[in-house]
Chain A
Amino acid sequence: MVDAARQPLIEVKTFTEVEKVEGYVGNFVVTLREKAKYVRADRCNGCGACTKACPVEVPNDFELGLAPRKAAYIPMSQAVPLIYNIDMDACIHCYKCVEACGALEAIDFSMEDKLVEQEIGAIVVATGFSHFDPTPMTEYGYGRFPNVITAMEMERLNNSAGPTQGALIRPSDGKRPKNIAIINCVGSRDKRFNIGCSNFCCMYAIKNALLLKQMHPDAELSIYYIDIRTPSKGYEEFYDRARESGIRFIQGRPSEITEDPDTHQLFIASEDITLGKVIEREYDMVMLNQAAIPQPDQNHMSSVLNVAQSPGGWFMEYHPKLRPMDSPTDGIFFAGACQGPKDIPASVAQGSAAASRASRILHSDSWQIEPTVAVVWPDRCVSADGQACGICSRACPYGAIDYTKGLAAEVITAKCHGCGACVAECPHNAITQLHYTDAQVLAQIRTLLAIEPEKKILAFRCQWCSYGGADLAGTSHFEYSANERGLRVMCSARMDADLIYEAYRLGAGAILYSGCHPQDCHYITGQISGAKRAARLEKIFERMQVSPGRFRTEWISAAEGDKYARVINEMQASLDAIPEDVLKAEIERLRPEMSKRLTKMGEVPGVTQAMAQVDFIVDEMIGKEKGT
């Protein structure tokens, strides 16, 4: 940190909050709130006279409340920059600090928060993680039993710069504990609190146990665990060393800690899995190795940065394997545990990677994006005529469409990722997606359904997941009906209702509407708008009395080849269950209804021409096959 602060090209802004992020890759405008420290950075020399003079004491957050601090303080001795700060919530305005500061005149009670706008090329988010508070797990008695402490409290107790100058003592009586237990997975791998594994706590428990053992060789240490996870290089050897040094590993998650109220000794009952017996053991002190959880204001940051969150609340990366440090928004990157719990080596690796990804942007004059971006036909956009619409702008997961009433909607191309949600949602067909224009997709549908359409299963697949699933079904040799005809779009968000109507109008037997699972979407919330539309369509077709099984919605990942094959086979079976004459009659019955819904399609540029072209080609090909 000190090193970074000394770099002339790095500006460290502590005690500053990001209020607003606008713009796009290479051209962000970030609004920062520089909070008032009431100490002038240009004058403070870090002497600490103000702290000595300050009469107010409040709990010290950094020491987890184990020690007090003054109202004039630095959060920790390694703080960068080393500038004092006055806690206005605690300050009693006695001005003793001003007196103590004397001729430096660094203390300035008139300071106020400052809002600063800065132009930024790329953003690396490294907001870290927070700790689970074990108080709600009443079975472990944290908060009730003085000698049950958290890992972070142990960290401070065992630190030479900590509140006890490194003397390990029991909170209840100040004596040195001999018999210490560490309980792993407190609040993690627990469906009641946090479902995920916190990644680093196994190694952290072993590290702490070894450290304690080295400092106090007579201490007895036991680690309670469900599984010990040592997945990286050298970790297993470290685990070996811990066992060698006499640390006891007990497989079995304790169900309860009880306390002798007189001596404050603790008793842990757990099943020893290997023995298959319940054992109860006595300890002087218990450390709870609590779960890593997202920062309390992670949701707020997520909306400021416009980046999505994974189910656990962590920031969601663009792709878990291929782009783990990129956010779905170009130009914003993640480093460290804000994206998911990870240990120091992994955080450092991701931080370096994120920095190099960011520098790529800073060193380029131009930026390449996917070519499948959306484009507005301004003459078709009703907003230009003064109508209130803005549907496209609301549909965009990236906030890439500017909508002002009276002006045609405008796509900020650099922000567009090409999911096609706006194209499908626009009720006036005023937006198109390059390479997936209505004309192009309709031409494909027309071709696929040219011969015996009532026997076909037309499958709309999204590029990233269900198309991959179908691909996997093929390469894995999972057999599925040969009547399936696949059609690729970028995202289920692009699967326009008009496309489905057209397929039915042409007489498609059955239609599969498939995409990714909601948490896997490559376009943040693309799948969600796709799923909403699918649900709407299902209702419409139910009202129209479309036979059940002719329209189906399924979310299939690229790994679910078997599911893809099963779904298609099931659809084939339900199609087979409808007698041919009934099906044909139904198609004829629905055709006028579908045509009615498609009257405006012909106005869309290129569609009519494309249809004529397709008809010509198809006729030619059929003619060739028949040998005429």
Chain B
Amino acid sequence: MPDLDALKAEAKRLLDEGVIEMVIGFKAGDTPLHPQPAFFKTSEEIDQLVYNALCQNNLATYLTRFPKTQKIGMLVRGCENRSVNALVFEGQHPRENLYLIGIPCEGIIDWRKIIEQAGEEVISVIEQSDNTVLVESKSGYFTLEKDTLLHESCARCIHPNPISADIVIGELLPEGDPALAREQVAAFANLSLQERYAWFRQEAERCIRCYACREACPMCYCEECFVDHVSPRWTESGTTPAGMQGWHIVRAFHQTGRCTSCGACERACPMDIKMTYLTEKLNEDMRQKYNFEAGMDTKTPPPFSTITLDDKSRFIV
């Protein structure tokens, strides 16, 4: 875990020296399981800054909600840093107006897994140095192995370190093994067509079209989402099977070459729908076919966002 005091000190310095106008970070939430995103504008407010393994939002999501001229500081973990890079590439905020405070990330704890073991009403969660988590709930005290609590996306994370932060606070961590991501992809991709469709239908069926996944995703920043488009209407908007499946498929395709595997969509879903098996498959295709990973820099265009004269599909040039 990074030193919280160091984080605060840096954030205060940036605000005091006027390098930035605002810091996007976390503060304590209503329950100990849910720290919430916070926007600190003065160094006094920084005292409320919180950072722990339960901070589950991808902060890059909030970047597109502020004017491009605003100088913004931001806590970034590996995935957030890459989301920011992808957003900079797409012109959503100039890099020179950003100050990224990097945090090497040991993974986000899935609060649902804590509840599974410690019961609903959690009073406090304390991360301990021996990689365990001490949870106090109405049912008593529980010492849980942190590794078993990690969110699935984090368990197979490849790039835990911020790759282009302006400052990194904390020790850099070893890179993850891409084989884990490949395993997950294979688990889905190796199924037969019928099995895959059954899996997909089963997941999509639970959807209530709340679009929390969209709101949590940093890359879903469209002013008007295709599902909200009225004339012409591109997809059924109700919770019909066709409507729900349409949403999940097109959402995944819109992420091709842009998704940084942060898993914020799954964490945000109230219905516990698995979504990353689709985006991870597409990400793996990008890696295999185009040797491309989203957000590794701010210059390389994603393969599907560009056209070259030696394109294999010569349908237009």
Decide if A and B touch, CB cutoff 8 A: no
Q: Which residues of B are in contact with A by a Cβ distance under 8 Å?
A: none
